[in-house]
Amino acid sequence: MVLPELVAHRGYRLHYPENTLIAVEAALRAGARYVEIDVQLSRDLVPVLFHDADLMRVCGVAGAVKDRGVDELRRLKASEYNRFGYRYARVHIATLAELTDLLTRHPDVTVFVELKIESLAQFGIPETLDRVRSALRGIEERAVLISYSLDALLSARRAGWPALGAVLERWKDRRDSRLRDIAPQYIFCDVEDLPAFGRLKGDGARLVVFEVGDAERALRLARRGVDFIETFAVGEMRRALDGRGSA
């Protein structure tokens, strides 16, 4: 039986606020060897872990990451109050440098670092790449830069970034001519945009599919050629897949 590798999508998001250090730490305790996080730049150009274009859903305040300095952002509660109430009221937005420090203690873990479009548009591709690469110093060889922006990935390839992953808006976008020059090691795609039947090919890249929380579906995708499954429930999925592998 072919078992796909699991990627902890924004950490162990099922039980912890997404893109926080405690979510990543929990994913590692659950056995994750691959973690995916989202990165944006603060107003003063510090890479922080954050997914949304605005702060409301996670922090309960208006505004955007790009409009606040890092000290101000770190004073906000990244607690996802609507999901968890006051349980994580002391959790703050983490910097990418803090994540790097955490992962230096876990040398067997690979991190997928998604560059968000908001920062690329606000600060430009070269500045964003430089700031992110600097924050990842020490773990660059196991940090895979991923993005929906093929232009950013093309710049990263020309700058000698070790590993890249292209996130596709649509499955058919893998025909984009820029992908030949990027030569990504990974292709990411939403599971809902995949064709319903047939073999799935990454055209030389390893195929990563998000968001999947059902083990049977993950196994069906693996049989069709998917290499990695991104999931918010990495612990539950790991136990379910390990059980099927043993059987």
Q: By C-alpha distance, which of 166, 140, 141 is closest to 152? A: 166
For 114, other C-beta atoms within 10 Å of its C-beta total 22
Q: How far apart are CA 150 and CA 43, in angstroms?
A: 24
What per-residue string of b and e applies to 199-212 under the rule 16 or more CB within 10 Å gives b?
ebebeebbbbbbeb
Active site residue: 15, 51, 92, 106, which one? 51
Q: How far apart are CA 64 and CA 231, in angstroms?
A: 26
Q: How far apart are CA 180 and CA 194, in angstroms?
A: 21
Largest CA-CA distance found in the chain, in angstroms, rounded: 53
Q: How far apart are CA 9 and CA 144, in angstroms?
A: 14
Give residues with Cβ within 8 angstroms of 12, minimum separation 6.
23, 24, 26, 27, 30, 32, 232, 233, 234, 235
Active site residue: 9, 15, 92, 106, which one? 9
Angle at 210 between CA 247 and CA 199, to 5 degrees: 70
Residue 51 is among the residues annotated as catalytic for this protein: yes
Which positions are annotated as active-site residues? 9, 51
